[in-house]
Amino acid sequence: MKYIAIITLCSLLFFSCSDQQKSNPITENEVNELVDGWLTLWSSYDLDLLDSIFWNDADMTYFSSEKRGLIKGFNEMRPHHEGFGFVSGGMKPSKELWLEDIDVTLQPDFAVVGAIWYFGDRTLPKDSVQNGPVSFVLLRNNEGVVKIAHTHFANYE
C-alpha cells in the first residue's frame, strides 16, 4: 500500500511540475532580451556573458560555421569562443555581427529563433560580408531563466 502511495505522490509531483512548466511559457519579450544579450556578447567579445546566455551544462549543443562537427557541452563551447578572440571582460572586435530576417516560433515549453547572420563591416554590401542562417533553441532552465540550449550556424556559399 505504501508503494502505491509513493507512486501516486511521484506521479502527482511529475504532472504538477509539467503543468507548472506549461503555465510559464517562454514569451516573445524573453526571446528578444536573450537575442539582444547574444548580440551584446558578439559586440563585446566578453566571455563572462556566455553563462548568462547559454545553458551551462554538458547537454548544450552548438554547430559552428567555422568548425566541423558538434560542439557538445558548455565546457567545449567556451574554448571555441576563446578561439575567436573572446576574453574575460571583453574587447572591441574589429568586425560586427548582426541578425536580419529574425523569425521567432513560440511553443509552450520552448522557442526557436531563426535568422540570417552577417559578420563584417556593416557599411559594405551584404553579399561582401560573411553570412548565413542561424537557429537557436531556447529553453527555460530549472531556475526559470530562458537560455540557449542549441545553436546552429551555417555559411552561405
Q: In degrees rounded to 5, what are phi and psi of residue 66?
A: -115, -10
pLDDT by 10s per residue, the chain, length 157: 443 333 333 444 444 444 444 578 999 999 999 999 999 999 999 999 999 999 998 999 999 999 999 999 999 999 999 999 999 999 999 999 999 999 999 998 999 999 999 999 999 998 899 999 999 999 999 899 999 999 999 999 7
Query: What whole-number distance in Å separates Cα of residue 27 and Cα of residue 109?
Result: 10
**26-153, CATH topology level:** Nuclear Transport Factor 2; Chain: A, (3.10.450)
pTM metric for this prediction: 0.82
Q: Is 73 left (phi over 0), alpha (psi -120 to 50) or beta?
A: left
Which residue ranges make up each domain of the chain?
Answer: 26-153
Residue 27 is which amino acid?
Answer: T
pLDDT, residue 22, reads 54
Q: Which residue carries 578572440 as its cell?
A: 85
